[in-house]
Amino acid sequence: MIDGTISADAPALFKAVVAQSDGNKVLINSNGGDVKAAMALGRIIRALGYQTIVGRVQAGRYEAQPGVCAYACVYAFLGGSARYLAEGQGQINFAWADPVQGQGGQVIANAVTATTYVLEMGADPGLLLRENEAPVLTGQEMVGYRVTYHPEVGFGPFVMEPYRDGIIVVSERLDEPSPYDRVSHLTAYCRSSGDVYFLLTSIGGFASEDGDGELLIWTKTPHEGRDADARIKSNHYSAWAGAENGFTELRFDRELLPDFADITALEVRFDTARVSGGPQSARIELRAMDQRMLSATLLSCI
């Protein structure tokens, strides 16, 4: 987490912290500071492949809350391989002068340095021409200048495959798995009992012997951060490890599930302690074809 004024020694402090961390996201909440240090932070973040999120921690809240990233902070934020606002809200301010650095602010004298950095981070250098405009970026500007950036993440559409005497559907992860976020594939099928199964395939070859599984279901247009319309507990799970992958199979009572045609998004989750590999989850937004494929698995159990 980067919180408060960005000082000249911030890059060294940040390196020391991440050396002891297994995460892949950096929470940023800052009113600015040293521009050179912010650029150095951005390059460190990019080299590590971390995502950046404008947000802050609030006591008693699990999810990050909306924050502010202003002036020099924006350079650090641009280092993220993906760049978001916590809960889709927050404020990003940008101008050449950084008020945190005192009267007149810190001004980058060399426009080539700034332009080179912004291009290196994959953003639009047109951002640097906003000097005389209001410093607060609109949502449209954040997207247009590629300040916020959402690469393909999460899980792709289901693909149907024959298996044994039936069919299964498999969704492959679009982005790279990371520590404590290891699931690479989500597979759905039914067995002769009629129950519905979801299989989480995780990189790393671990399998937890203790945990709780559940299926979260959205039956209306999903909204990021909105509570699920239904939470269904798994009535049984099995876990085993291969040479390179771990597998967790969760079983759900078919009678408790709504019609797949009514489901617009679902998330399969298995919660376990970090010493056992950490929570595993896979969420997918369902297209009409995904709904039909899931329904088809119920007609051809393996």
Domain boundaries, the chain: 2-144, 159-297
pLDDT given for residue 28 in this prediction = 94
Beta bridge partners of residue 65, listed in sequence order: 56
Max CA distance (Å), the chain: 75
Is residue 111 pLDDT above 80, yes or no? no
Could you tell me if residue 225 is left (phi over 0), alpha (psi between -120 and 50 degrees) or otherwise beta? left
> What stretches of 159-246 show up as alpha helix (H) in DSSP?
none
CATH number corresponding to 159-297: 2.60.40
**283: nearest Cα among 222, 239, 240, 208:** 222
Fold match, 2-144 / 159-297: no
Q: Measure the CA–CA gap between 185 and 260, rounded to whole angstroms.
A: 20
**10: nearest Cα among 47, 29, 31, 36:** 36
**41: nearest Cα among 84, 83, 65, 8:** 8
CA 68 to chain centre: 19
Do residues 180 and 278 lie in contact, with contact meaning Cβ atoms separated by under 8 Å? yes
Quick one: which H or E segment has residue 282? Answer: strand 280-285
Residues 91-107: tens digit of each pLDDT: 888 865 544 454 334 44
Share of the chain above pLDDT 90, in %: 49
Residues 22-34: tens digit of each pLDDT: 778 899 999 999 9
- For domain 2-144, the CATH superfamily is 2-enoyl-CoA Hydratase; Chain A, domain 1 (3.90.226.10)
Q: Measure the CA–CA gap between 133 and 268, rounded to whole angstroms.
A: 45
Residues 166-216: tens digit of each pLDDT: 999 999 998 878 777 889 999 999 998 889 999 999 988 677 777 889 999
145, two tokens:
């200048």
